[in-house]
A and B are shown apart, each in its own frame.
Chain A
Amino acid sequence: MKLFIYELRKIFDKKIFLIVLVLCLVINSLLLYSSQNTEENNLRLTYSEEYGKMLNEYLSMPIQKARNRIDDELLAYEISGRLESLAQADNEEFIESCTSELEEYKKSNPDAYQKAVKMNRNGNESYWKNSFLHDMSQQIEYINSYPKFIGKMFDRAKAQSASSIFGDENSFSYKNLYKTADDYSELKDTELSLVNSDSLTATVKFGLTDIFVIAVVLLMCFYLFGFEREKGLCLLIRCTKFGRLKTIILKFAVLFVLSAVVSVLFITSDFILNTFLYGGMDLSVNIQSISEFRNCTLSVTAGQFLFFFVLSKIIGILIISAFLALVFICFSSSAAIYITGLGIVGIEYLLYTLIVQNSSLNLLKYINIFYIIDGGEFFGSYLNLDIFSNAVTSIPIVLSVFGVLFVLCTMFSCILFCRCSLQKKTNVFSGVFEKFRLFFFKISGSTSILMAEIFKFIIQNKMAFVLILLVIFSVISSFGTVQYPYSEISDADYKAYMEYLEGNITPEKKSYIAEEQKYFDGLRQRLDDIAENSEIPSSTKQAMSKSIENILNSKGAAFERVSEQYSRLLKLKESGVNARFIDECIYSVFVSGKTREWNNFTLLCLVLLIAVPYIFAVEYKNSMINLIRPTKNGKARLFVNKTAVMLMFTFLSFASVYLPYLIRFIRTYGTNSFSTPIVCIFKNLQSSYLSVLGAMIVNLACSLLLALAAVSVIAVLSIITESNMFTMLLSTVLIIIPCLAVYSAESLRIGYCIANDFVAVLIIVCIFSAAIFIIMISIAELKFTKSRIRRAKNAGS
């Protein structure tokens, strides 16, 4: 027990762990809130209390009565809408038809009509009520259809199996049809009721929580398995009575207990937040009352389902924690652990999300750890897997496969932990690499601190290799990024027009546009002439008309776009803008390429979080920090040089990521339009001081500032944590996960802000990034140069 508590303290004594845990919880909650606080959910969130009250009102009456009442109310809203349209209408035909329709309503539904009149007199009661009534009406429709859905299951199986393609009794399809019907038969007496289920469904659907939980588990693995190894303390454990076996068992016990606790903690926080947003849910109703869980075959209440949901998350996280523990024990290098551990988990995640359920590779989707972690799907839907033409329920088979994997991972981890020395080892190529390095790169004699730092970072820590890989990757991935974004039939001709017109509006261009206008007017006339000509055979007429229509549909449509742009430019010119013709297709993507911007920034952050920890943490890792004696300037000079290396690497990485696209763009389209104001590109933009070049510079500057802010955070983390691996983990939580979260939010891009003239947002981003950079570098300097802290720490440890 004592050992268990000691192992537990290894984690809880680290303030940083608790800070990270709280930080993850806060970020997770913020992301959950932002994912729910959408325009679509606006009414639901604003009037959640009213929704609850309405639901309670209808819950207290029999379902049929509730349905009739809702239908009446909806009809009243519809009539009220008509009355309002009639009051605003000025079209006689519409007024006539609307009046007769209302008369009809008055006769057939006098109560609903009176109610609508009353509603109109009192002002439009509330739009939200109408929306909620629709929602409840759909719920009632689902509740009424459910008995039929279950009751007809055997009939459907019978009808399907009657067809010759599913008729073979030995086939998976036949077995699946009847097994499904059998498994659902127990649900025939399930009672459904109206329920406010949004808090539960939002909790079940929010998948980002799993990533945070995995990140925290990774951190725990580091403290339990990586920390002692990094400090060289593993050798001390061997000489105890039971060797290392007792230690590893208790380490696993701590890991599993804490993983389960963390999973429960995160899900509970999600559910509480969602309950706060959407209102409380009656957990005693059957889970099938929620239409999303129609296919669930478990005869459980919503509360019990929530328990199963938590259980599946815990099982999934335990398996992942066992796997990550094995990775930590097998590998000694931080980068290898990071890449192997997160790489394999990432591949599993991609397989689960990218493979569709009826793919021939669907076993890879369902015999997948993320299928278990996705508790809503695992317990909430029904699935049989085709195992040698047998229909096997997915839950037991997936649990057994991963149960075996879990035991194997734990067992191998224990064996390796007990038998291997767990010292930092060199691999078979180390000798060769060392000889090669010494032959080409070595420092002889005295050298400057800066050169020494560069040598350590670039050569010793092999970051030159990372940089070369980054350059190669960026150059290769830039192929095909500068393509004309063809999307409409007229794009090719529009491009051709713009190649000629691009630039200032000159008299020649004006007369060219007038000539083209005349040509297309003539062509339209020609089309009429062909249609009216009675001497030409109809098939020939058709071929001729087709040729002309093709021109009008492609070149003609392109000219209409040019013409529209021309009139807009003339208006801009009148307002004093240096209006110039510009290809909107090319430059709108150039100024605001949403996917490109996200890809570039995330790639840059990923490279920085792998490389930057090696600058500061390396001295702590190999204990060389104790040898750096305070000079006249203390450690400040060393810090400045290390910061210089860090900035150099950041700039080089930044250039490697961003330059290939820019070079390709300039080589393809030139720089003629760089001075054109961006108001000429974006129709919705009323004013902007930026030119295309200016917009690109602002974009790059903002990205660079954000990258510098990220780098400074990584640097501080590496100094505080004194560990590469730990820094990588924390940086992933703080930088990469938020990047993943904003992937689909296309408005959260610098290009988007530029294209919509959100100057204030851009300024805030710049100031915020610069402030973070300055504050973080100051903290880093303070921490790094204060050698006493280090001594105190050493003494303590």
Chain B
Amino acid sequence: MKKFILTISTICVLSSAACIFSSCSEQSLKIDYSDKYIENQDYQYMYSDGFGHSSFQKSNDGYYAAVNNFLFYIDGKTMNATPICNKSNCLHDREPDEVKLKECNAYVPDYAEYSRNTIQLYNNNIYFLQIDRADSFDDVDKYLFYEMDIKSGRRKLLLSYSDGKVVFWAVHRGYIYFKADNYISSYDSDELKAHDGAGFNKMFKLALGESSPEAIYDFEKTDGIYKMQLSNSFIIYGNHIYIGYSGYKNEEVYNKVISADEDVLESAVSGVLSGYVHIDIPNSKASIILDGSEEKSKVFNCFYNNKLCYSQSNNVYISELDGSNPKLLAENINGIFLHDGKNNFTSIFDTDNTGEYVQTIMSLDDKLNRLAVYTMPDHFFVQGIVQLMCPYDDKYIFGFVENNDKTDIVYIEKQQLESDQHQLKAKMIYSCKNSIPAFKE
């Protein structure tokens, strides 16, 4: 009898488990490891602000946008936005009750607590990072990596990371890459004391479907730079990861900067360094590229015909993706040089007579000569300069307009950059209510 009961119970348990987990199986993606941007499997660097934040993602037939902790789908044809929630009895961002608001499927609280969230699209899933703050001294902060099925809104916890602080992250070619340190401050590595003598500052990767991350680079082991400070400038392209840094030539230069002796200050100027840590993903090997003194620093601009494009002073250079073989592309370029796959532009930030920021775009021809200048709409801000010219989206420039109690998701049609109208106009897609006051940058 007991055997019979045991058999029946086992069948019941197994069949219910099969029912519950049957919908969770995923189709794996066949990865192309070519050293160039591959759509649908690579980190969408063009929507990133260069610091690992990306509020927009492109899919085959539309876009995903995340703002004020809510996730929206923008239909590519109609340009209408819909909260990604499949409940018609839900008011989404307009819900006045905080408990019900958090039950909305489109609610994705952001780890950085910015009003503009960071999301990543990969293999029909949205990825986001949430933080579970320690509520007592006995507890620690936990960084929670989630995968969300866009159709059902169901989310799965991929990793609960509590060993340190996650600074930036990206989903790329089947892995989540993230930089974490367990220093209390990530800014000045020397002044920081590692927790109980076991401090680290590393780049990790986590294979999707696995639960333990693997360290791929230890920033502490970078030679030749004293007091390396990672600038949080972060981008992934093809088989390469780029992370910006600044630092000092040696201890002597650093001491000159932080000493109170005014005479030694100017002599330290040439010893302040900057550049990029470049990690070659297949080999997990790192090198320092685009390095030099801060005085004549090299700044990453964009990718130009599958080359790395950077500027130094007013000159624009291109090099191989690993920083080798640099060549001059153009001289005396005013503003930040950008390339969207077809056209060339520069982006210029300035202030007007009233002290307000004004952003203009100058379009350039193939030989990088000036064609026309366009002024961006008032109060329009984009996620970052790189995102401004989505290379694989030749139609729109996405951005936000913030009002008192809401944030509007807006876009500019790129067609306007070919017209005679020099004042660009933005169209609103969705006005998202600031239901939960979020920290603003």
Interface residues of A (CB under 8 A from B): 149, 153-154, 156-157, 159-160, 162-166, 168, 171-174, 176-178, 180-181, 184, 291, 294-295, 356-364, 367, 382, 386-387, 408, 412, 415-416, 419-420, 481, 483-493, 495-496, 519, 522-523, 525-526, 529-530, 533, 535-537, 539-540, 543-544, 546-548, 550-551, 553-555, 585, 588-589, 593-596
Contact = CB atoms under 8 A, between A and B. Distances in A.
Nearest to A391: B86
Given A291-B97, A360-B149, A547-B188, A166 B86 contact: yes
Interface string B133-176: 01011111000000001111111110000000000000000000
Contact of A160 (B86, B187, B293): B86
A544 B274 CA distance: 12
B188 A544 contact: no
Given A160-B88, A164-B75, A495-B193, A481 B184 contact: no
Nearest to A590: B137
A290 to B, nearest CB: 12
Nearest to A419: B1
A157 B88 contact: yes
A420 B155 CA distance: 47
Contacts of A416: 1, 5
B185 A358 contact: no
Given A490-B184, A540-B294, 14 more contacts: A153-B88, A165-B73, A166-B82, A173-B153, A177-B86, A177-B87, A360-B155, A386-B23, A386-B152, A543-B246, A547-B227, A554-B187, A554-B188, A595-B136
Contacts of A174: 86
B210 to A, nearest CB: 17
Interface of B: 1, 5, 8, 16, 19-20, 23-24, 61-62, 73, 75, 78, 80, 82-89, 91, 97, 100, 103, 105, 134, 136-140, 149-157, 183-185, 187-188, 191-196, 227, 229, 246, 254, 257-260, 262, 265-266, 268-269, 272, 274, 293-295, 297
A8 B43 CA distance: 69
A364 B62 contact: no
Contacts of B134: 487
A595 B136 CA distance: 8
A386 B152 CA distance: 9
Contacts of A533: 265-266
Contacts of A526: 258-260
Given A165-B150, A172-B86, A523-B260, A543 B136 contact: no
Contact of A382 (B86, B89, B258, B265): B89
Contact of B185 (A159, A519, A529, A553): A553
Contacts of B191: 493, 550-551, 554-555
A529 B75 CA distance: 53
A544 B257 CA distance: 7
A173 B151 contact: yes
Contacts of B266: 533, 535-536
Given A295-B89, A486-B184, A554-B192, A544 B84 contact: no
Contacts, number: 200
B20 A364 contact: yes
A468 to B, nearest CB: 26
Contacts of A595: 136, 138-139
Contacts of B61: 164
16 contacts: A154-B88, A160-B82, A162-B75, A165-B150, A171-B151, A180-B87, A358-B103, A360-B149, A484-B195, A484-B196, A489-B184, A492-B194, A523-B260, A536-B266, A544-B257, A585-B137
Contacts of A481: 138
A159 B430 CA distance: 13
Contacts of B149: 360
Interface centre among A412, A486, A555 (most CB of B within 10 A): A486
Contacts of B187: 546, 550, 553-554
A294 B95 CA distance: 12
Nearest to A415: B1
Contacts of B185: 489, 492, 550, 553-554
Nearest to B86: A173
B91 A149 contact: yes
A491 B165 CA distance: 15
A156 B93 CA distance: 13
Contacts of B258: 523, 526, 547-548, 551
A626 B293 CA distance: 94
A164 B195 contact: no
Which of B5, B19, B140, B193 has the most CB atoms of chain A within a 10 A radius of its CB?
A: B193
A621 B246 CA distance: 76
The A contact surface, by secondary structure, is helix
Given A295-B89, A492-B193, A548 B257 contact: yes
A420 B1 contact: yes
B58 to A, nearest CB: 14
A359 B246 CA distance: 42
A359, A387, A546, A550 — which one has the most chain B CB atoms within 10 A of its CB?
A550
Which A-B residue pairs are the 9 nearest by beta carbons?
A550-B188, A522-B260, A492-B193, A173-B86, A157-B88, A163-B82, A485-B137, A492-B184, A595-B138
Contacts of A539: 274, 294-295, 297
B265 A177 contact: no
A525 B259 CA distance: 10
A540 B272 contact: yes
A163 B72 CA distance: 11
Contacts of A364: 20
A771 B144 CA distance: 49
B192 A492 contact: yes
Contacts of A491: 184
Nearest to A536: B269
Given A539-B297, A546-B187, A163 B75 contact: yes
A160 B85 contact: yes
B229 A547 contact: yes
Given A486-B195, A544-B272, A594 B88 contact: no
Contact of A540 (B23, B87, B97, B269): B269
Nearest to B227: A547
Contacts of B294: 537, 539-540, 543
Nearest to A326: B5
B80 A173 contact: no
Contacts of A551: 188, 191, 258
Contacts of B259: 526
Given A159-B82, A488-B184, A547-B188, A166 B137 contact: no
| Of listed B19, B89, B155, B258, residue having the most chain A CB within 10 A | B89
A484 B140 CA distance: 10
A164 B192 CA distance: 50
A515 to B, nearest CB: 13
With a 10 A CB-CB cut-off, give which of A291, A485, A492, A540 has the most chain B CB atoms: A540
B93 to A, nearest CB: 13
B163 to A, nearest CB: 11
Interface centre among A367, A491, A535, A544 (most CB of B within 10 A): A544
Contacts of A585: 137
Given A176-B87, A386-B23, A593 B138 contact: yes
Contact of B89 (A173, A180, A535): A180
A486 B196 CA distance: 11
Contacts of B246: 543, 546
Contacts of B254: 547
A485 B150 CA distance: 38
Contacts of B154: 358-360, 362
Contact of A594 (B136, B184, B262): B136
B20 A546 contact: no
A594 B138 contact: yes
A184 B89 contact: yes
A484 B199 CA distance: 13
Contacts of A483: 140, 195-196
Nearest to A387: B19
A325 to B, nearest CB: 14
Contacts of A547: 188, 227, 229, 254, 257-258
